A and B are shown apart, each in its own frame.
Chain A
Amino acid sequence: MQSHYVRRVYDFYSDFYDFVFAPFFLAPLKKAMKHLKFPPGARLLDIGVGTGATLGYVPEDAWVVAIDLSEDMLKRAKKKFPKDRFCVMDALNLGFQDDSFHIAVAAFVLTVVPDPQRMLDEMERVVKPGGQILIINHFMSRYTPIAIAERALDPVCRKIGWRMDVPLEIVTSRKSLQIEYVVQKKPWIFWKGVVAKVKK
């Protein structure tokens, strides 16, 4: 999946994203966000903010920058959260200085970008040493029958904007991250949240 294709697909979704997709994301988001530690005046980067589902769970005093590849999505998020800051940006080429944020969150983005490892590299680069990253996503099942089904669905899912073949280990095996929590370990739940401290 190329970035320009993803951008086009999600611009198209922006009209009905709040009704069709966002309801699935709210419960996982709420649960996973509880595991973040916000220092006073925390600087938070929300990667792939979409129409702003994550922003409702961020403490009032946090200083938030939200990015998305889709300009149409950002316009909707900005209307809902006018106090926050918004930039059109590619998660694989972040336009921020090193160590700019205390926390970086990416909810359901890892399987949308063409290069998940590079997205994690960029998240770690812009988070301060000792800061946290939160990844919420569907990860490929460890159970063979489900994994086979996911692989079979992968080509179809890529056409509609995401991939199915990303394993949890892509996050948990990184030496630059200290894993703090894996939220939702039950095998039949399709999403997982990983909270990790950035070691630099």
Chain B
Amino acid sequence: MALDKELLEILACPKCKGDVELDSSGKWILCKKCGIKYPVRDDIPVMLIEEAVPIEERKEGNA
């Protein structure tokens, strides 16, 4: 089951209160401003600052 669209619209980063978005895998909620992502486990977003991990930068030229 996917995450509720209306829920995604009101979710914010608990750290900066800025906008967040679901990544393409549906397993992470990204805060681009803070550069961190929050896990989604069993369709439950885990919006805890201590559970957030850095968003990996995609490195160019390292194919």
Interface positions of A (Cβ within 8 A of B): 4, 63, 65, 69, 71, 74-75, 78, 85-90, 93-98, 100
Contacts and interface: CB of A to CB of B under 8 A. Distances in A.
B49 A71 contact: no
A78 B12 CA distance: 21
A185 B17 CA distance: 37
B4 A95 contact: no
A96 B10 contact: yes
Contacts of A97: 10-12, 17, 19
A100 B6 CA distance: 11
Interface string B40-56: 01101111111100000
A95 B11 contact: yes
A95 B10 CA distance: 8
Contacts of A93: 14-15, 48-49
Nearest to A89: B47
A71 B46 contact: yes
A142 to B, nearest CB: 35
Q: Is the interface of B mostly helix, strand, loop or mixed?
A: mixed
B7 interface: yes
Nearest to B42: A75
B44 A87 contact: yes
Chain B's interface size range is 20 to 34
Nearest to A94: B14
Interface of B: 4, 6-7, 10-15, 17, 19-20, 38, 41-42, 44-51
A8 B45 CA distance: 18
A141 to B, nearest CB: 34
Contacts of A86: 44
Given A93-B14, A95-B12, A95-B14, A85 B46 contact: no
Of listed A75, A78, A95, A98, residue having the most chain B CB within 10 A: A95
A96 B46 contact: no
A192 to B, nearest CB: 29
Contacts of B19: 97
A71 B11 contact: no
B32 to A, nearest CB: 15
A96 B47 CA distance: 10
